[in-house]
Amino acid sequence: MAVPVAAAQKIQLSVDVSKAGAKIDRNLFGQFAEHLGHGVYEGIWVGPDSKIPNTRGIRNDVVAALKALKVPDVRWPGGCFADEYHWRKGIGQQRTVTLNPNWGGVIEPNTFGTHEFMDFLDQIGAEAYLSVNVGSGTPQEAAEWLEYLTTVQPTTLAKERAANGHPAPYKVAFLGIGNESWDCGGNMTPDYYLSQLKTYSRFVRNFNPAQQNNQQMLKIAVGPGGGDSRWTEWTEAIMKAYQSHTWSWDMNGLSLHSYTVVKWPPSYASVGFGEAEYAQILKSTLEMNDLIAKHSAIMDKYDPQKKVALVVDEWGGWYAPLPGSNPGFLAQQNSLRDAVLAALNLNIFARHADRVRMANIAQMINVLQAMILTDKEKMVLTPTYYVYKMYVPFQDATFVPATFDAGTFTHDGITLPRIDAIAAKDKAGKLWLAITNVDPNQSAEIEVTLAGMNAKSAAGETLSASKVDSVNTFDAPNTVVPKPFSAKAQDGKLTLKLEPKSVTAIAVEQ
């Protein structure tokens, strides 16, 4: 039974507009597209001969949907896949057909390779986050990939790139050096990984003339995958080495992987669940805050100036595979619960924006907590997609501290905060609020006091639905879609009435 605790009480939310926090880096809204299930093949790539409308093989409907999210960067080609990926198999007229042993053992045709990925990024307007193969590759292979991609001088590799259709060098904004090297990426000890990191960091160079000074490619080291001692020791080891690093190697980010799963193997249903599972999953997702705080504290010890970003480049809800799907394809539905989960995590990242400057939800299309689901020519946008759309104004906005007493509600012995909220000023100076009403049954009345501004009204969108497991399907794509939301201010204060289990983003007008 849900027990409403003081649900009738108004929640006071205070925002002091004169105070500014860290920049909420746009890269916190990054995506992850691995060669896994129908994430790349069918989700992005249908091939130029497909009847599905496409541009050079890349689905037009998916591109249009992603453009609206202003996706800052896409991590590719994995995940575990990256540590078995050999880039030369994915360039040129003749592609080598291989296997994808991590994800169902299916055929990997390599038809979506380097040029197709860069074309996809160009079409959606995002930057490249390449994950290079440390597990089964060599520094030389990775170095040659970067030379192929970025050299302007007429080296043999640059000429090969030009012959394959791209004379100009590509921009590679981010370089991931390995993936989960403590596990699927080669089961390395911290010391062994460190020696790899130093070598790759030194020799995998970006030659693009436009990326030599303040546009330099940022190098991201493998970081922890949880909060227990195995992971804190990993963070300690990498950051300690970073503290005494010499001119010959560097790193700009440390990755963190954390899925909301409650327990492995993933067993929670992604649809057809009730409020108990809603509460359990959300309680588990809120652990992200302490996990970030724990690793940030270690990083602060060795890097008090916060030069190294914590990059949460795999996160999201990971549930049981959909009945009848290939379990290696990690196919799941995406419900209103995922919308709330996404908002809670984005808010956590924003609160830690001084250290967390990049995050990539897993994964973009048809895999895990996806933005988009496709089935042949059909496409549907998920509740998570809409949260990302509503949060676009928060990209590169300045965090503004908001204080509130969230209150609590309890369901089946699980106590959660009733609401969560963040505030930020966008680049034009406009104040935005994002408020989540976590309670699945009670609406929340919130009185917003805005020091330093004479608020007149607020307008934006709200996302909710009738059930915690409401989903969008190909037949009913508009079950969970945002609706307009507005409020008038009285005496400079806004009173907002938020639906149960809802995410709301509004701009304040003065």
Instruction: Just list the catalytic residues.
Output: 180, 314
Q: What's the length of the chain?
A: 510
First to last CA, the chain: 42
* Inter-CA distances, 313 with 27, 179, 385, Å: 10, 10, 17
- Minimum Å distance from CB 368 to ligand AHR? 6
- Minimum Å distance from CB 223 to ligand AHR? 12
83 binds ligand AHR (CB under 6 A): no
179 binds ligand AHR (CB under 6 A): yes
Residue type (1 letter), 256:
L
84 binds ligand AHR (CB under 6 A): no
Number of residues that bind ligand AHR (CB under 6 A): 11
The dihedrals phi and psi of 304, each to the nearest 5 degrees, come to -65, -20
79 binds ligand AHR (CB under 6 A): yes
The dihedrals phi and psi of 9, each to the nearest 5 degrees, come to -70, 140
- Minimum Å distance from CB 232 to ligand AHR? 19
Q: Is 494 helix (H, G, I), strand (E, B) or coil?
A: strand
CB-nearer residue toward ligand AHR: 368 or 450: 368
Selected binder of ligand AHR within 37, 43, 78, 223 (CB under 6 A):
78
- Minimum Å distance from CB 26 to ligand AHR? 22
Output the six-digit token pair for 414: 């699980």
Name the residue whose CB lies closest to ligand AHR.
Answer: 79
- Minimum Å distance from CB 266 to ligand AHR? 11
What is the rounded CA–CA span in Å between residue 149 and residue 160? 10
CB-nearer residue toward ligand AHR: 75 or 161: 75
CB-nearer residue toward ligand AHR: 368 or 468: 368
- Minimum Å distance from CB 76 to ligand AHR? 11
CB-nearer residue toward ligand AHR: 185 or 460: 185
Comparing C-alpha atoms, which of 381, 266, 272 is closest to residue 318? 266
B/e letters for 167-178, b = 16+ CB within 10 Å, e = fewer, are eebbbbbbbbbb
Selected binder of ligand AHR within 63, 80, 291, 299 (CB under 6 A):
80
Selected binder of ligand AHR within 42, 180, 338, 420 (CB under 6 A):
180
Q: What's the 3-state SS for 50-97?
A: CCCCEECCEEHHHHHHHHCCCCCEEEECCCHHHHHCCHHHHCCCCCCC
CB-nearer residue toward ligand AHR: 79 or 500: 79
CB 135 within 8 A of CB 129: no
CB-nearer residue toward ligand AHR: 362 or 487: 362
CB-nearer residue toward ligand AHR: 255 or 395: 255
Q: Which x/- pattern over 16-35 shows residues binding ligand AHR (rule: CB under 6 A)? A: ------------------x-
Q: Which x/- pattern over 32-51 shows residues binding ligand AHR (rule: CB under 6 A)? A: --x-----------------
Q: Which residues on neighbouring strands pair with residue 16, listed in sequence order?
A: 451
Which residues within the stretch 361-420 sit at the binding site for ligand AHR (CB under 6 A)? 362-363, 368
The dihedrals phi and psi of 340, each to the nearest 5 degrees, come to -65, -45
- Minimum Å distance from CB 361 to ligand AHR? 10
CB 399 within 8 A of CB 424: yes
Comparing C-alpha atoms, which of 427, 409, 426 is closest to residue 417? 409
In a 13 Å sphere around the CA of 338, the CA atoms on its Cβ side amount to: 35
Tell me 272's DSSP state: S
CA-based max dimension of the chain: 71
359 binds ligand AHR (CB under 6 A): no
Output the six-digit token pair for 61: 């409907």
Which residues within the stretch 311-350 sit at the binding site for ligand AHR (CB under 6 A)? 314
Which residue ranges make up the site for ligand AHR (CB under 6 A)?
A: 34, 78-80, 179-180, 184, 314, 362-363, 368
